[in-house]
Amino acid sequence: MEEMHSDPEMVVFGEDIGLYGGAYAVTKGMLEVFGEKRICDTPMSEAAIVGLAAGSAIVGVRSIAEIMYIDFITLAMDQIVNQAAKMRYMFGGKIKVPIVIRTQGGAGRSSAAQHSQSLESWFLGIPGLKVVMPATPYAAKGLLKSSIRDDNPVLFIEHKVLYNTKGEVPEGDYTIPIGKADIKKAGSDITIVAYSRMLLYAMEAASELEKSGISAEILDLRSIQPLDKEAIIKSAQKTGSVVVVEEGYKTGGVGGEIAAILAEECFGDLKTPILRVAGKDVPIPCTPVLEKAAIPAVADIIAAANKLKEMKNHGY
């Protein structure tokens, strides 16, 4: 709301964002404040939502496109990948594309295979597009403000389970730079790289690892495009061991990209292999027990850390 008040021309487009307040209540109460010309309920067409927002953006109207589930973003891939992400480049920088595509992803609510995916890795290799994934309420506000003020398209992905997370959020204006990771916990034995909901799992795992004498450094990526390569490499050089944790599929995932960066940039500093903890390569089940089995758990992170400790001890 703060950004809407600051920019009287800013518009939000999406399904059920007006009277209903959004599927996860992220626009609740905004219709009453800003009116239907700025909080615009759209037809059930993701292509239309993103296309309308992108078109508005290039003529100077800063806009937000609300996509109810990231699973539905497949219906707007052309508008995102071939249009919004490329227009500023193709026009030689003469236009700006200040659009935030705001959506949510991830499992944890038994919403089944078409409403529970983590598809962020699809967008890692799209030049011109930024991808932001906050893990805390503080980061969510600061990064959303930065995303709205950015003159390039930003895909802003919130985890559906994190909507219930509570934390301190300062009143008033503050921003967090996109592409800057945050060290949530300093450590000396192992680096755990995580983002979104998996950061909470990593923090819980680190507390358990401390009890067995393993000091874990926790790095919250906060955005996966651009990646804070400097922070990742610096932490890896410090500890010599890295575990990358993501909820998305292991094959073609964010962890694979980070592992490649480390292999290219600081292979000689690593004392152990890079381990990835990720979701299973299966459609997300609806049944709670099977859904839980398909995504990483705290125990998986602990097991990976213990495996690296054992390798270190045996002079791998």
Active site residues: 115
Residue with token string 């990209």: 257
260 Cβ contact partners less than 8 Å away, ≥ 6 residues apart: none
Helix or strand run (H / E) with residue 247: strand 242-249
Closest CA to 66 of 86, 80, 85, 50: 50
| Residues facing residue 40 across a β-bridge | 13
Give CA–CA dist 155/100, Å, rounded. Answer: 6
- Cα distances from 103 to residues 12, 76, 99, 262, 277, in angstroms, run 13, 12, 13, 30, 24
Structural tokens at position 194: 């995580």
Helix or strand run (H / E) with residue 104: strand 99-105
3-state secondary structure of 251: coil
Structural tokens at position 179: 């592409």
Q: Is 86 exposed, middle or buried (0-12, 13-18, 19+ CB in 10 A)?
A: middle
Residue 211: how many CB atoms within 10 A of its CB?
7
